[in-house]
Amino acid sequence: MKPILKIVDTQQSEAFQLMKVMDPYFFPSWHFHPELEIMLVQEGAGIRFVGNSMERFQAGDLVLYGSNIPHLYRSDKEYYQKDSPLISKATVIYFKENFLGESFLQVPSMAPIKKLLALSRRGIKFKGNAKAKLQELIPGLEGQKNSIGRIIDLLAILKIMAETKEYDLLLQTDFTKYVSENECERINKVYQFIIDHYTENPTLDEVSDIANMSATAFCRFFKSHTQKTYTQFLNDIKIDNACRLLLDKKMSISQICFETGFNNFTHFNSQFKKIIGITPKQYQATHLNR
């Protein structure tokens, strides 16, 4: 599946574009675009990749992306199964930084929103009461037929985002690395291959072949884009899926160890604690009690 520079094509007559997504799974390609993006997941679950960040997403996930931040929502494998009843649903807003004119952000009263848009270069995930308010406002944009009303509603959304402290930044620094379309395509092929085959423990040589690079060149390329070695990334994918299976509670912990590609229970426990901070048993007990 070819990754793309996604063309949003915000109409000149509109200040922003609203898109409703309702598909078996989310747009599965590593992509980027010059528009800022607000994405509210209403149904669905999987792994969200943003720059060099990797986290699980589920219903209620809400992120503001700055311009040209590469991102990918990879739905869980159940969503790709034939005749699956599962649905991936989201409301997505695309807008340009100057959507109300070049001088809009220079007005002193707009300083909080200007700061918010600058911070969005690190990817902002909202939580708590702020997220609850935004979850009510964002879907309401669809029912707002008046153009002025839509702009006012978007400004109300940005106001809440700008004033709250209830958020996490997905990246440690602004994402400024230029990603070419060729790099984007290569990263996407690698991600897709690893996610589809992680239980088989693909070797570095196998993954390098997918990227059409030597192992040495691939290691440099992969580390520069993910800030992780291939082995670290592979273990992150395995442990992420182990967390999901632990909460499903359909398998024992030892079964989950082998289901996620670990051939040694001690190594599984060690990697889980290294990445998550607690043992699989503690993780399961803590989250199920919540």
How does residue 122 score in pLDDT terms, banded at 50, 70 and 90? Answer: very high
CATH match of 181-289 with 1.10.10.60: yes
Determine the longest span between alpha carbons in the chain, in angstroms: 60
Determine the pLDDT at residue 99: 84
Domain ranges within the chain, ordered by starting residue: 16-169, 181-289
Measured CA to CA, the distance from residue 127 to residue 147 in angstroms comes to 28
Measured CA to CA, the distance from residue 54 to residue 170 in angstroms comes to 9
Amino acid at 38: I
Residue bearing the bigger pLDDT, 188 or 162: 162
Cβ-Cβ contacts under 8 Å for 40 (sequence gap 6 or more): 61, 62, 90, 91, 92, 134, 135, 138, 139
Q: Which residues of 159-184 are buried (b: 16+ CB within 10 A; e: fewer)?
A: ebbbebebbeebbeeebeeebeeebb
Determine the pLDDT at residue 3: 40
Residue bearing the bigger pLDDT, 288 or 40: 40
For 233-241, what is the mean pLDDT?
93
Evaluate if residue 9 carries a pLDDT over 70: no
Least confident span in 104-108, 165-169, 242-246 = 104-108
Mean pLDDT (the chain, rounded): 88
For 212-227, what is the mean pLDDT?
91
Q: In what order do the strands lie in the sheet with 62-65?
A: 16-23, 88-95, 36-43, 62-65, 124-126, 167-169
Measured CA to CA, the distance from residue 75 to residue 58 in angstroms comes to 9
Evaluate if residue 175 carries a pLDDT over 80: no
pLDDT digits (tens, 9 = 90+) for 135-155: 999 998 887 777 788 889 999
**CATH number of the domain at 16-169, please?**
2.60.120.280
Model's pTM, two decimal places? 0.82
pLDDT digits (tens, 9 = 90+) for 58-77: 999 999 999 888 888 999 98
Share of the chain above pLDDT 70, in %: 93
Half-sphere exposure of 133 (CA within 13 A, CB side): 15
Residue with tokens 């929502």: 73
Tell me 277's DSSP state.
S
